């Protein structure tokens, strides 16, 4: 059976490096399931792999869209599975990598057949968002489904709209709606998670944000001001700097907010992964060697070995 190796872990933990090393070891290609790296105009703020890294191994679903494109998780599932099946005609192993938990789930398990968006609900939620702000939507979801609220990207209004709409339509929590595996995949999934002490994760996030600023994050965000209301740009690293350019926040404060919100996202990732029982954990300091040893023990080796 063909093998899909899925590399997961919190933001800034070293997933890209491990994915590239494993892809080189197996002579294969990488599928990204990082929903923010789809957009070509957001390279710096999403920590997209560098040109050198992208040249080392073929990558798919990185910089393939514009922020002006609409792209749903359902479309991604369909496109990713098609690409994986195509790669399996040439490779026994394919690497999946990314910290977008629902996008990984869509690939390895399939999406539940959830109802289409209800226009009346959407308009109602849009009015709440416009008049009362995102905090009002967060409160609604927290009351309806505290479990999903703990892991959702709660600063992304599209995620909140979708979950609340589904709950209102089905009368079941969003967690219940997405809990069952719906599509049996015809490949085996091996999930490798990179772990580190929480203080190390937070320290790496802080350093990563500083590096993004050195690379020109502020200039990247400034160039996107005309598109600031697009859903794709309502995300950490961009919303905070938009407030700086509006004169609402000082730059130092905006930077601290980016770090804080990135740490919050990492905490939600940890909450999500902690519930999973099929993850093989490796240490961030030795992730490549531990992963290769693990895969060798599972008898997953390159063709020539």
- Hey, CA dihedral for 196, 197, 202, 206, is it positive or negative? negative
Does residue 1 contact residue 187 with C-beta atoms inside 8 Å?
yes
Identify the pLDDT of residue 11. Answer: 93
Annotated binding-site residue numbers for substrate: 11-16
CA 63 to chain CA centroid, nearest Å: 14
Dihedrals phi, psi of 265, to nearest 5 degrees: -65, -40
Name the pairing type of β-strands 30-32 and 59-60.
Answer: parallel
Angle between helices 119-132 and 134-144 (to 10 degrees): 130
**Measured distance CA(19)–CA(7) in Å, rounded:** 7
Q: For the domain made up of 3-112+180-297, give the CATH fold.
A: Rossmann fold (3.40.50)
Q: Which residues in the chain are classed under CATH 3.40.50.300?
A: 3-112+180-297
Q: Which of 194, 254, 230 is nearest to 66 (CA)?
A: 230
Output the known binding site for ATP. 9-16
Note the residue count of the chain.
305
Measured CA to CA, the distance from residue 2 to residue 20 in angstroms comes to 19
Beta strand segments in the chain, E? 3-8, 30-32, 59-60, 93-97, 188-195, 279-283
Residue that has been written with the tokens 């589904």 in this structure: 166
CATH of 119-178, picked from 2.60.40.1080, 3.40.50.300, 3.90.76.10, 1.10.20.140, is 1.10.20.140
pLDDT of residue 182: 66
Q: Name the pTM for this structure.
A: 0.86
pLDDT value, residue 305: 63
pLDDT score for 116: 83
In sign, the C-alpha dihedral spanning 126, 132, 138, 139 is negative
pLDDT of residue 128: 94
Binding-site entries: 9-16
Task: Kindly report the number of other CB atoms within 10 A of residue 249's CB atom.
Answer: 17
Low-confidence ranges of the chain (pLDDT < 70): 180-182, 305
């Amino acid at each position: 059976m063909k093998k899909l190796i899925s590399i997961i872990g919190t933001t800034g933990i070293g997933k890209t490096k491990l994915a590239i090393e494993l892809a080189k070891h197996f002579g294969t290609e990488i599928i990204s399931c990082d929903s923010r790296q789809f957009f070509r105009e957001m390279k710096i703020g999403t920590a997209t792999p560098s040109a050198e890294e992208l040249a080392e191994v073929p990558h798919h679903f990185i910089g393939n869209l514009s922020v002006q494109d609409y792209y749903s998780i359902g479309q991604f599932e369909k496109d990713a599975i098609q690409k994986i099946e195509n790669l399996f005609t040439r490779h026994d192993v394919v690497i999946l990598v990314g910290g977008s938990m629902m996008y990984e789930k869509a690939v390895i398990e399939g999406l539940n057949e959830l109802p289409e968006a209800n226009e009346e609900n959407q308009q109602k939620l849009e009015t709440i968002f416009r008049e009362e702000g995102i905090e009002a939507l967060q409160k609604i979801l927290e009351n309806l489904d505290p479990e999903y609220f703990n892991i959702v990207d709660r600063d992304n209004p599209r995620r909140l709209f979708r979950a609340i709409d589904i709950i209102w339509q089905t009368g079941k929590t969003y967690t219940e709606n997405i809990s069952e595996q719906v599509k049996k995949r015809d490949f085996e999934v091996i999930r490798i998670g990179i772990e580190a002490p929480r203080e190390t994760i937070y320290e790496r996030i802080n350093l990563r944000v500083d590096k993004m600023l050195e690379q020109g994050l502020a200039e990247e965000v400034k160039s996107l001001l005309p598109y600031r209301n697009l859903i794709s740009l309502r995300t950490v690293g961009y919303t905070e700097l938009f407030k700086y350019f509006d004169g609402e926040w000082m730059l130092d404060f905006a930077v601290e907010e980016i770090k804080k919100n990135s740490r919050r996202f990492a905490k939600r990732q940890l909450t999500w992964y902690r519930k999973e029982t099929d993850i093989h954990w490796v240490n961030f300091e030795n992730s490549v060697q531990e992963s290769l040893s693990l895969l060798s023990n599972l008898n997953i080796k390159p063709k020539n070995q």
